[in-house]
Amino acid sequence: MLRPNKQQSPILCFEDLGGGLPFLFAEHLMSTARKAREKMSDWGPVFVAVVLFILLTPGLLIQMPGHQRYIEFGNFKTSGVSILVHSILYFALICIFLLAVGVHMYVGS
């Protein structure tokens, strides 16, 4: 058992963990989960970013603000203001989907 002396002040000792067995079991579970994460790749953020990029490309499907009206559909033209608006929308939606919702897609090898 580890006992803190005057020179060492560990945050916890083995007695605080209820003995060595639960600590070793928890360590084994964490290492197993870590190995499983290393084998699988998280493709959720990549998928969300690509889909949002395609959907929010100015002028491809929708353009805000447009040249003639506030919203135009499929005109294949763009402007600096439109790029700025679409960039802000992209940033907001990517933050919502990746941080708030937490989209994850694990693909194993």
By the 8 A CB rule, do 90 and 52 touch? yes
Q: Are residues 81 and 71 in the same domain?
A: yes
What confidence tens digit (pLDDT) does each residue in 45-69 have?
999 999 999 999 988 888 989 888 8
**97 and 76 housed in the same domain:** yes
Structure tokens at 69: 């009206």
Does position 87 have pLDDT exceeding 50, yes or no?
Answer: yes
28 and 64 part of one domain: no
**Interval 10-29: pLDDT, tens:** 454 445 545 555 555 667 66
Q: How far apart are alpha carbons 16 and 10 in whole angstroms?
A: 11
Please report which residue ranges of 1-109 form alpha helices under DSSP H: 20-39, 44-55, 80-95
**Residues 50 and 102 occupy one common structural domain:** yes
Q: How many domains does the chain have?
A: 2
Mean pLDDT, range 82-109, rounded to an integer:
88
Whole-prediction pTM? 0.59
Tell me which residue range forms the domain holding 28: 1-39
